[in-house]
Structure 1
Amino acid sequence: MRERFDLAASQQGFELDAEQQRVADKLAELGTALPKRFRRPSGVYLHGAVGRGKSFLMNAFFAGAPVPGKLRVHFHDFFNQLHRTIAQHRSSANAVDAAFAELLGGLQLLCFDEFHVHDPGDARLVIKLLHAVHTRRIALVATSNYRPADLLPNPLFHELFRPAIEFIEAHWDVVELPDGPDYRRTGRRSGSGFASGTWSRSPPAGFESPTAAERTALPVNGRTLRASAVRDGLVWFDFEDLCATATSAQDYLAVAERFSTWVITGVPQLTDRDAETQQRFANLVDVLCDKDATLHVVAEHDIARTLTEGRDTDRTASRLALLEST
């Protein structure tokens, strides 16, 4: 299985660096052990700096993993599905366990991209999820920008998540991909999907600013979001309507299922905003990058100045570096 990683890198025009090779070796060992029925390994928690190729390595591993029951999903997306499934089973005696049975049934391998926890409300649910995965003997591979000990970093709630941290460290191999080049910043832009988007002070050529008549109440998850315009596969939002109000990653996921092109105007310097607003913007970028939606941002400042000292700045800046700044 090890050669699959080198082949995948070659197909994308690069070679694995020494640290990436070390991680590939570890994942290849896991892949070899996966088919073993009675001694299936628990998995790997892969963490490290942004843009180092964690998602690439996990995706290469997932593609070659020799088991039929496998799922690769962004952590935001999985939690969106989990909340929806719990709601569908709300009449059950234990809706959470019923949701786990539905989502995890038949799996031998579960791959989470961008595993992170900021919401204290989700902390106990994540703990239950990790126990459910382990009890079902599902191998887990997760990528994260956080060491296990740094998950749910808010000091007011961090102790809530300590049981999960200890569980991860006890049952999964914790592997670090050390600091090195951010390949999103140094690589070539693909010119498609998320990487075909722009960051500028005015709407990109060919995009007419919305008129007042185009303002739309967009139904999302049982309520409405105010969109500046909806045009076929394009949705246009003002930052204040999308990130400065009580929206969630689940809302962004629902809208991303309907629209492949987004325009966000009026993005301010985020250090002027509260932590919740900063986190919503980071979540939005995460969702759109994972869904490979085209994003055009109209901002007051360049990316670096917009994100200075913001939450999850490194991860967000790395993704936004894929956009063409004009």
Structure 2
Amino acid sequence: MSSSTASPASTTGSGPIPGQRSAAGPVALTSRAPHVPADRLVAEMVPPPRFDSVRFDNYIPDPNQPSQADAVRMLDGFAAGLDGATGGSRKRWFRRETKPAVPAGPRGVYLDGGYGVGKTHLLASLWHATPAAPEQKAFGTFVELTNLVGALGFQKTVQTLSGHRLLCIDEFELDDPGDTVLVSTLLGKLVEAGVALAATSNTLPGKLGEGRFAAADFLREIQGLSAHFRPLRIDGEDYRHRGLPQAPPPYDDATVRRVAQTADGASLDAFPGLLDHLSKVHPSRYGAMCDGIRAVCLTGVEPIPDQSTALRLVVLADRLYDREVPVLASGRPFDELFSEEMLAGGYRKKYFRAISRLTALARDAKPLAQG
């Protein structure tokens, strides 16, 4: 099952079919405010298209970072340990004489490491390697998980996910006390139901929430979350920039508009208008807002004015990166989006991730500008 099989979200207005250009010009993301049914949110809890084909055996460990190869072995063993019926007889990457036993203790594994070391690749590989039907395992970002609770309600979410063998949570971060209590309670219920957990983040489980709110006031919940996981550290540098040329500098407005008019499935928006539009669309709908879009063209990129706007842009950047949508822009370069104060604050890891991913997408857009 893949996200492409889910029923499409409806959009407001009478604009062009997603991904196509009308006679008047390219699609504008600001014209889209999709409604996403709750059943689509559940059906799309699978690895995003970018990670459809990832597996343990096509993850390329950095030979200078032994923790990466160790992570592959450990996660393959974790997946095999979820095969209660057969004990696992699959061909395994880095196989040795015997499959390493899954240690007793927490029923979850937590991949901690910097940006671009392949944590999401490994998490998606774990989802693919787990011997269960697609409907028995779920994959989503932390934001998508909290959005699911908002759409279904807490009890219905527990009921829906309790039948799963594995829940994978990408980019696990706690941004406010309400999320801390919500997710702590949810995961506790799922562990009781026998669901295995796997998560990625740039923050060790016991440090979740630091710098964002009065973490000491919610220490019990945070420690409860940490107890569900055993950390697995993955060292290394950002593979998106490893040995690759730097992202191209911003283009001029004329180039961006030309590409938007000629590239199939391109969108065209003024950056300030897009930021304003994001405030009117729930983040759970940003993925549907990008349905059919093959390239995003932005004019007038400028620094983000406030933290709420910045966090919404982070979610959009994640959805574009998941879908491998190139981003061609004019204005300021992406590494100037966030102020020094933002990059030094509690959400800095999200902002650095967004810069890393937007830079990769800008590099992907370079052939469009040269065409």
* TM more than 0.5: yes
Per-residue Cα deviation, 1:109-160 (whole angstroms, up to 9, x for no partner): 1111111222444333222221122121111111111222332334534346
In structure 2, relative to structure 1, the CA distance for the partners of 1:127 and 1:241 (3 Å cut) is farther
Secondary structure of 2:337's aligned partner: helix
Matched, 1:77 2:144: yes
Would you say the 8 A contact 1:30–1:41 is kept in 2? no
Normalising by structure 1, report the TM-score.
0.72
Give the equivalent residue in structure 2 for 1:313.
Answer: 351
Normalising by structure 2, report the TM-score.
0.64
The unaligned stretches of length 5 or more in structure 1 are 87-95, 190-196, 211-228
Match of 2:222 among 152, 160, 165: 165
Give the equivalent residue in structure 2 for 1:240.
Answer: 272
Would you say the 8 A contact 2:173–2:201 is kept in 1? yes
Match of 1:46 among 97, 108, 111: 111
**In structure 2, what residue type is equivalent to 1:23?**
A
Give the equivalent residue in structure 2 for 1:8.
Answer: 58
Match of 2:171 among 114, 123, 126: 114
Matched, 1:64 2:124: no
Q: How far 1:75 sits from its partner (Å)?
A: 2.7
Give the equivalent residue in structure 2 for 1:89.
Answer: none
Residue pairs, 1:98-113, within 5 angstroms:
98-102=156-160, 104-113=161-170
Q: Of the two structures, which has the highest relative contact order with CA contacts closer than 8 Å and spacing of 6 or more?
A: 2
Match of 1:24 among 72, 83, 101: 72
Match of 1:147 among 204, 214, 231: 204
In structure 2, relative to structure 1, the CA distance for the partners of 1:264 and 1:151 (3 Å cut) is farther
In structure 2, relative to structure 1, the CA distance for the partners of 1:36 and 1:163 (3 Å cut) is farther
Q: How far 1:186 sits from its partner (Å)?
A: 1.4
- Would you say how many aligned residue pairs link Structure 1 and Structure 2? 280
**In structure 2, what residue type is equivalent to 1:9?**
Y
Per-residue Cα deviation, 1:58-79 (whole angstroms, up to 9, x for no partner): 2222221223322222333333
Give the equivalent residue in structure 1 for 2:195.
Answer: 138
C-alpha distance in 1, partners of 2:329/2:219? 37
Give the equivalent residue in structure 1 for 2:326.
Answer: 294
Per-residue Cα deviation, 1:169-196 (whole angstroms, up to 9, x for no partner): 2221122223x2210111669xxxxxxx
Would you say the 8 A contact 2:180–2:222 is kept in 1? no
Would you say the 8 A contact 1:108–1:138 is kept in 2? yes
The unaligned stretches of length 5 or more in structure 2 are 1-53, 86-103, 367-371
Secondary structure of 1:200's aligned partner: coil
